[in-house]
Amino acid sequence: MLAGVTTEPAYTLYYWPNIQGRGEFVRLTLEEAGAPYVDIARLDEAEGGGVASIFALLEARGASVAPFAPPILKHGDLVLAQTANVCAYLGERHGLVGDTDPARRHALQLQLTIADLAAEVHDTHHPVGSGLYYEEQKVEARRRTGMFLKERLPKYLGYFERQVELGGGPWLMGSTRTYVDLSLFQVLEGLAYAFPRGAAAVTASTPRLVALRDRVAALPKVSAYLASPRRIPFNEHGLFRRYPELDLSE
Amino acid sequence: MLAGVTTEPAYTLYYWPNIQGRGEFVRLTLEEAGAPYVDIARLDEAEGGGVASIFALLEARGASVAPFAPPILKHGDLVLAQTANVCAYLGERHGLVGDTDPARRHALQLQLTIADLAAEVHDTHHPVGSGLYYEEQKVEARRRTGMFLKERLPKYLGYFERQVELGGGPWLMGSTRTYVDLSLFQVLEGLAYAFPRGAAAVTASTPRLVALRDRVAALPKVSAYLASPRRIPFNEHGLFRRYPELDLSE
């Protein structure tokens, strides 16, 4: 793969500059890979950054396959989108997944299940549509979040807990950490931020996931990243939003 | 990939026997591949079929990576889940995508964008939760479907229309059909079934997609499949459901 490339071009990430969002799955992968990258929209517009850089890429007509939405990774001539697809690309290039075909396909399978969970989290605060403000769909959001915390979240986290057990642990795919572990960490962190009570009620039954989350946080590169200004704090514009009225009540 | 395999095991698809659902993306790929496969849950329980076969696979503890949900493909020792992941696996094995690394990653990118669209279609009739009946969330469904038909569907189909143009056509990735075209066909068919008026209002502006849909339907193997009893009709238990009250009014 890219075997003929001798001078390695740097990675450029195109993602919204003020949120973690789906871009955070890519950022965590780049950080654990130790790969130099430019988070371009966080640069000033005068330096070619800002959200203008994202819109320019989305509107460019040069690529044979265009991205639908950020996050988008540019690497040399390759412009790649869809979060799981980008994480898999980086993971495969940087030793963050086994190098057999089944290992790679199974990692993507797990990553796509995490993406499904993340999409369901998004819809807790946007059940009617992403084109409306949360305040315009609060009634529906309460109903959907209730169902999510009661049925969907236990199902997803129970599945991942069992997966750590099946694979022999302590990581999702056995004894070596993969890019999928980084993404699961991000979801667990985000859930704890968004639903302090609702998430805790579920993770009380998933000790392996709690241990995995702590293990990811302690990886030296991840730990350094989390302590750096590159890590944007959670906020109410991203995927994981803390609206106390949606969480379980005391 | 699997280069050492000389005797090719058959494919077994595990998916709900009475709906097209997400399994249909896999069925179309298997059919166009001309690959022998068993749609196991459509066999009688006495033959090892029925939905019991799906639950048995989901509960099996032999695999190192377990599936979360159907569709699931079994191929020799490999048990693979997540629709886009399964379609990519089959597409890559059967010449339904280019054989370069960028072509495969771009195909997956497009397939994942189709999966995102399919998930949004699902949520038009299940905006609150998949654990409730449609009848328990009709009010929310009307509101969500309104937003979907007005904003999201034009955005998605406009993107795919532009992609056919960018790639040079007549297929999504240029002059050769890929597994992604089969999936886009399925979504276009499903939308026309679910929202006869709402979908037509959008596809009036996407002539390349209409032509692509017809071109897929005319592929000899797809055409034979669509005319066979293997093609389950659309119904109100699947992904695409016709609830006239959700469609655009006259």
Local confidence band at B7 (pLDDT 50, 70, 90 cut-offs): low
Q: Please judge whether B132 and A148 are an interchain contact, meaning their C-beta atoms are less than 8 angstroms apart.
A: no
Which residue in A has a C-alpha nearest to residue B141's C-alpha? Answer: A128
- Stretch B56-79: mean pLDDT, rounded? 92
In this predicted structure, the answer to whether residue A62 has a pLDDT above a threshold of 80 is no
Dump pLDDT digits (tens) for A146-159: 999 999 999 999 99
Q: Nearest CB to A109: which of B1, B85, B116?
A: B85
Q: Which of B172, B187, B176 is nearest to B119 (CA)?
A: B187
Dump pLDDT digits (tens) for B203-216: 999 999 999 999 99
Q: What is the pLDDT of residue B162?
A: 97
Q: What is the pLDDT of residue A63?
A: 75
Token couple for A66: 């265009």
- Stretch B95-107: mean pLDDT, rounded? 97
Q: Which of residues 134-173 of B touch A (CB under 8 A)?
A: 140, 143-144, 147-148, 151-152, 156, 159, 162-163, 166-168, 173
Q: Please judge whether B128 and A127 are an interchain contact, meaning their C-beta atoms are less than 8 angstroms apart.
A: yes
Instruction: Convert B52-67 to b/e letters by CB count within 10 Å (16 or more is b).
Output: ebbeebbeeeebebbb
Q: Please judge whether B101 and A166 are an interchain contact, meaning their C-beta atoms are less than 8 angstroms apart.
A: no
Question: Residues, chain B, total?
Answer: 250
Q: What is the pLDDT of residue A4?
A: 46
Q: Please judge whether B151 and A131 are an interchain contact, meaning their C-beta atoms are less than 8 angstroms apart.
A: yes
Q: Please judge whether B85 and A163 are an interchain contact, meaning their C-beta atoms are less than 8 angstroms apart.
A: no
In this predicted structure, the answer to whether residue A250 has a pLDDT above a threshold of 80 is no
The amino acid present at B178, given as its one-letter code, is: T
In this predicted structure, the answer to whether residue B123 has a pLDDT above a threshold of 70 is yes
Dump pLDDT digits (tens) for A89-139: 999 999 999 999 999 999 999 999 999 999 999 999 999 998 899 999 999
The shortest C-alpha distance from A210 to chain B (Å) reads 19
Please give the Cα distance from B132 to B146 (Å, whole number): 20
**Interface residue B64 vs chain A (CB under 8 A):** yes
- Which percentage of chain B shows pLDDT scores above 90? 92
**Interface residue B2 vs chain A (CB under 8 A):** yes
The shortest C-alpha distance from B76 to chain A (Å) reads 12
Which residue in A has a C-alpha nearest to residue B150's C-alpha? Answer: A131
The amino acid present at A67, given as its one-letter code, is: P
Mutation pick from B1, B64, B72 vs chain A, by most beta carbons of A within 10 Å, is B64
The shortest C-alpha distance from A130 to chain B (Å) reads 9
Dump pLDDT digits (tens) for B194-241: 999 999 999 999 999 999 999 999 999 999 999 999 999 999 999 999
Q: What are phi and psi of B174, to 5 degrees?
A: 105, -135
